[in-house]
Structure 1
Amino acid sequence: MEFYSSSDTCQHTPANPQVDHTTSRVSPWLSPLAYLFGRHCLLPLFFGQIRITGQKNIPTTGPVILAPTHRARWDALLVPYATVDCLTEQDLRFMVTIDECQGLQGWFVRRLGGFPVNSKHPSIRTLRHGVELLQQKKNLVIFPEGNIFRDGQVHQLKPGIARLALSAESSHSGLGVKIIPIGINYSQPYPNWGTDVSIHIGSPIRVTDYMSGCIKQDAKSITADLAKALQQLSHQETKITEKRANAPSFG
Structure 2
Amino acid sequence: MMETYTASTKSQSQFTNTCVNTTYVNTSVNTKVVSSRSKVSSWLSPLVYYLGRKIVLPTFFGKINITGQENIPKSGPILLAPTHRSRWDSLLLPYAAGRCVTGRDMRFMVTSSECKGLQGWFVKRMGGFPVDTQRPAIATLRHTVELMVQGEMLVIYPEGGIYRDGKIHPLKSGVTRLALTSESIHPGLEIKIIPVGINYSQPYPNWGTDVNLHIGEPIKVRDHINGSLKKDAKNLTAYLTNKLQELSHKKSEINAHDLRKITNNSQISS
Q: What is the TM-score normalised by the length of structure 2?
A: 0.82
Is the 1:3–1:163 Cα contact (8 Å) retained in structure 2? no
Change (3 A) 1:241 1:206: same
Give, in angstroms, the shift of residue 124 of structure 1. Answer: 2.2
CA-to-partner distance for each residue in 1:49-100, whole Å, 9 max, x for gaps?
Answer: 0000111111122100111100000000000100113435x11100011111
- Give 5+ residue unaligned stretches, structure 2: 1-14, 24-32
CA–CA separation in structure 2 for the residues paired with 1:154 and 1:199: 15
Alignment-derived partner of residue 201 in structure 2: 187
Compare relative contact order (CA 8 Å, sep 6+) and give the higher one, 1 or 2. 1
Q: Residue 38 of structure 2 corresponds to which residue in structure 1?
A: 24
Shift of 1:237: 3.3
Q: Which has the larger radius of gyration?
A: 2
Aligned to 2:184: 170
Residue 101 of structure 1 is matched in structure 2 by 115
Deviation at 1:24, TM superposition (A): 1.1
- The answer (yes or no) to whether the contact 1:23–1:115 under 8 Å persists in 2 is yes
* Equivalent in 69, 82, 102 of residue 87 of structure 1: 102
Q: For 1:141, which of 137, 144, 155 is the aligned residue? A: 155
Partner letter of residue 208 of structure 2? G
What is the identity percentage for the equivalent residue pairs of Structure 1 and Structure 2? 56
SS of the equivalent of 2:51 reads: helix
User: Could you tell me how far apart the structure 1 residues matched to 2:164 and 2:258 are?
Assistant: 21
1:210 corresponds in structure 2 to 224
Post-superposition CA distance 1:116-169 (Å, at most 9, x none): 112233222211111111111111000000000000000000000001111211
- Residue of structure 2 in register with 1:227 after alignment: 241
Question: Contact conserved, 1:60 with 1:86, CA < 8 A, in 2?
Answer: no
Task: For 1:5 and 1:24, locate their aligned partners in 2 and report how far apart those are by CA, in whole Å.
Answer: 21
Specify the alignment match of 2:70 in structure 1: 56
Shift of 1:183: 0.3
Whether the aligned pair in 1 keeps the contact of 2:65 and 2:252 (CA below 8 Å) is no
**C-alpha displacement of 1:5:** 6.5
* Paired amino acid for 1:87: T
* Structure 2 CA distance for aligned equivalents of residues 46 and 2 of structure 1: 45
**Matched residue, 1:13:** none
SS in 1 for 2:110: strand
Asked if 2 retains the 8 angstrom alpha-carbon contact of 1:6 and 1:216, the reply is no
Alpha-carbon distance in 2 for matches of 1:195, 1:222: 33
Provide structure 1 residue ranges, at least 5 long, that are not aligned to the other structure.
10-18
Q: What is the distance in 2 between the residues matched to 1:6 and 1:206?
A: 25
CA distance in 2: counterparts of 1:141 and 1:228, whole angstroms: 19
- What's 2:250 paired with? 236
Are the counterparts in 1 of residues 38 and 124 from structure 2 also a CA contact under 8 Å? yes
Structure 1 runs of 4+ aligned residues shifted over 4 Å read 3-7, 238-247
- SS of corresponding position for 1:158: coil
Task: Provide the aligned length of Structure 1 versus Structure 2.
Answer: 241
Partner of 1:43: 57
Aligned partner of 2:45: which letter?
A: S
Give 1:113's match in structure 2, choosing from 124, 127, 151.
127
Which whole-Å CA distance do the structure 2 matches of 1:62 and 1:24 have between them?
18
* Distance in 2 (alpha carbons) for counterparts of 1:41 and 1:228: 35
Question: TM-score normalised to the size of structure 1?
Answer: 0.88
